[in-house]
Amino acid sequence: MNESYIISNPEIMMGKPVIAGTRITVELILEKLSAGESVEQIIQEHPHLNADSIKAALAFAAQALKADVVYPSEKRI
Instruction: Give pLDDT tens digits for 11-51.
Output: 999 999 999 999 999 999 999 999 999 999 999 999 999 99
Residue 4 binned pLDDT confidence (cut-offs 50, 70, 90): confident
Identify whether 54 is part of a domain: yes
CATH number, domain of 17, equals 1.10.10.10
pLDDT at residue 70 tops 70: no
As a whole number, mean pLDDT of residues 46-74 equals: 87
Identify whether 31 is part of a domain: yes
Identify whether 74 is part of a domain: no
Identify whether 73 is part of a domain: no
51: domain range?
A: 6-65
Q: Which of 59, 66, 47, 51 is nearest to 3 (CA)?
A: 59
Identify whether 44 is part of a domain: yes
The domain total for the chain is: 1
Identify whether 59 is part of a domain: yes
Identify whether 42 is part of a domain: yes
* Residue 76 pLDDT: 61
* Residue 3 pLDDT: 58
